[in-house]
């Protein structure tokens, strides 16, 4: 089908160029170009081009359908990914809830420990306060005891008194040192416990805040990625809907074109049958034209032979008349020498003879040229395959030229005979 389409297009372009060339040259045969055949072929070419376009549109629609299927598969995959991400987010939220519960439980334990430490510190402080409160009583008691001992020992020697004093002083110093050491240890222990609790609280708080920030950043990033994927899926769905609408429109156009093709198919079939009939008639006309060309060629050969024979006869007659004229001119020259009074008439007769001879020669040459032109025209007609009417008309022209040539030769011969009779009369009169 495609090869036939190219042939139709080439034939149409060739016929169009030929018609343009004939129109520029002014040749009358350009109007006889079968435009109907080429125009309908061009219309068939147009229909086949439309069919090719429809096939291309169908292929494009199929490609769009495949692309839509791919987009739907991708959408399904993205939805599955969204479901998995939602599950991961739920798991992450559950982990966050567990982490929050854990941090709250750790905070509660830390608060309990801090409260216990505070209570312990309060108890230690209360004990220290009680000890501080009890120290004056103890001092008074010790002073009373010492005083009582001193009173009881006043009767003892000085060595015993001094010994007792030293023992009491040492005991008082030991009590004071133990009291200051216990205060220092209590204060240092409280400070250490407070620092440890504060450091533990700060580290726990920083760890919890960093974990929460990291988890929130991951959740935000996942939400942004999911949002971008959802927006991309929405755009792809919009494009798929547009492509689906375009596919529906192309299917509608395809159905319309198929209806047009089905409606035009009977006309195309009838046109093809008529074209086949025209081709067969053109082949018959071509065979008739070839027969006519062969007949014209034979007639042109016959006409050429007739022309050559007529030209040969005309040349022989001209040569004969020239010889007779030369003989008569010689006779007339002798007569002129004998009869001088007839010189003017003889010169006039000679001029007329020369004019008749010139006209005869020109007419003969013109007839020969006409016959040659007729032969050339018949050859061109045979080469160009013109109509039988022009061939017959041009066949009649050489015959008419031949008849004209015969009439002209007869007229010249009659004119040449008349002066000959006059010359005979002049000879008789001279005699």
Is residue 108 domain-resident?
yes
| 10-14, 256-260, 268-272, 356-360: segment of lowest average pLDDT | 10-14
Instruction: Report d(CA 215, CA 228) in Å as an integer.
Output: 20
Considering 151, 178, 202, which residue would you say is the last residue of a domain?
Answer: 151
Least confident of 31-40, 202-211, 353-362: 31-40
For helices 388-430 and 343-384, angle between their N-to-C axes, nearest 10 degrees? 170
Identify the pLDDT of residue 161. Answer: 63
Across the range 333-337, mean pLDDT stands at: 67
What are the φ/ψ torsions at residue 34 (nearest 5 degrees)?
A: -70, 85
Q: Is the pTM of this model over 0.85?
A: no
Question: Is 291 among the domain residues?
Answer: no
DSSP state of 429: H
**What's the count of helices (H) and strands (E) in the chain, helices before strands?**
5, 0
Q: Of 117, 134, 151, which residue is a domain's last?
A: 151
161 token code pair: 């008194």
Domain limits for position 353: 327-371
Number of CB atoms found within 10 A of residue 104's CB: 11
Taking residues 113-137, report their average pLDDT: 77
Residue 343 located in a structural domain: yes
If you average pLDDT over residues 296-318, what whole number do you get?
77
Give the CA distances from residue 344 to residues 339, 340, 416, in Å, rounded to whole numbers and listed in that order.
Answer: 11, 9, 20
Asked whether residue 285 is assigned to any structural domain, the reply reads: no
The 10s digit of each residue's pLDDT in 184-214 is: 877 787 778 777 777 777 777 777 777 767 7
| Cα separation values, 294 from 193, 306, 373, 385, 400, Å | 137, 18, 19, 11, 22
Q: Answer yes or no: are the C-beta atoms of 350 and 332 closer than 8 Å.
A: yes
Domain total in the chain? 2
In a domain, 67, yes or no: yes
Domain end position, chosen among 151, 173, 197? 151
The mean per-residue pLDDT over the stretch 34-59 comes to: 73
pLDDT at residue 338 in the model: 66
Average pLDDT over residues 253-262: 75
The answer to whether residue 222 sits within a structural domain is: no
Per mean pLDDT, which range of 57-71, 73-87, 228-242, 381-395 is the poorest?
Answer: 381-395
Query: Is 128 inside a domain boundary?
Result: yes
For 154, which DSSP code?
A: T
Q: What is the pLDDT of residues 311-324, one digit of tens each?
A: 778 778 878 877 88
Residue 200 lies in a domain: no
């Amino acid at each position: 089908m495609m090869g036939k389409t190219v042939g139709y297009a080439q034939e149409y372009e060739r016929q169009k160029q030929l018609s343009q060339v004939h129109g520029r040259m002014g040749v009358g045969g350009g109007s006889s170009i079968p435009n109907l055949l080429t125009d309908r072929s061009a219309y068939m070419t147009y229909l086949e081009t439309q069919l090719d376009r429809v096939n291309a549109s169908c292929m494009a629609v199929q490609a769009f359908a495949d692309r839509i299927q791919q987009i739907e598969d991708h959408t399904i995959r993205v939805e599955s990914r969204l479901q998995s991400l939602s599950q991961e987010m739920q798991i992450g939220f559950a982990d966050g809830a567990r982490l929050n519960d854990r941090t709250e439980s750790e905070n509660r334990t830390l608060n309990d420990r801090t409260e216990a430490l505070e209570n312990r510190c309060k108890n230690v402080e209360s004990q220290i306060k009680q000890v501080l409160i009890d120290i004056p009583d103890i001092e008074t008691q010790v002073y009373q005891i010492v005083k009582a001992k001193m009173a009881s020992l006043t009767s003892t020697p000085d060595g015993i008194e001094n010994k007792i004093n030293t023992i009491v002083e040492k005991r008082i110093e030991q009590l004071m040192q133990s009291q200051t050491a216990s205060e220092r240890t209590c204060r240092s222990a409280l400070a250490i416990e407070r620092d440890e609790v504060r450091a533990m609280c700060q580290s726990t708080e920083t760890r919890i805040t960093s974990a929460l920030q990291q988890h929130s950043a991951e959740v935000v990033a996942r939400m942004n990625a999911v949002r971008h994927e959802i927006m991309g899926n929405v755009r792809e769905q919009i494009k798929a809907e547009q492509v689906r609408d375009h596919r529906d429109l192309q299917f509608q156009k395809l159905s319309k074109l198929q209806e047009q093709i089905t409606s035009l198919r009977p006309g195309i079939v009838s046109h093809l049958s008529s074209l086949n009939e025209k081709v067969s008639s053109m082949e018959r006309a071509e065979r008739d034209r070839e027969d006519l060309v062969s007949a014209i060629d034979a007639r042109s050969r016959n006409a050429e032979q007739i022309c050559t024979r007529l030209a040969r006869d005309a040349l022989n007659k001209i040569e004969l008349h020239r010889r007779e004229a030369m003989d008569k001119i010689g006779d007339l020259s002798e007569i002129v020498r004998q009869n001088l009074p007839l010189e003017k008439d003889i010169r006039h007769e000679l001029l007329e003879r020369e004019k008749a001879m010139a006209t005869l020669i020109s007419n003969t040459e013109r007839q020969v040229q006409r016959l040659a032109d007729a032969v050339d025209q018949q050859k061109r007609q045979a080469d160009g395959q013109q109509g039988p009417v022009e061939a017959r008309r041009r066949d009649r022209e050489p015959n008419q030229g031949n008849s004209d040539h015969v009439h002209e030769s007869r007229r010249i011969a009659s004119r040449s005979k008349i002066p000959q009779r006059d010359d005979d009369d002049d000879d008789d009169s001279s005699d």
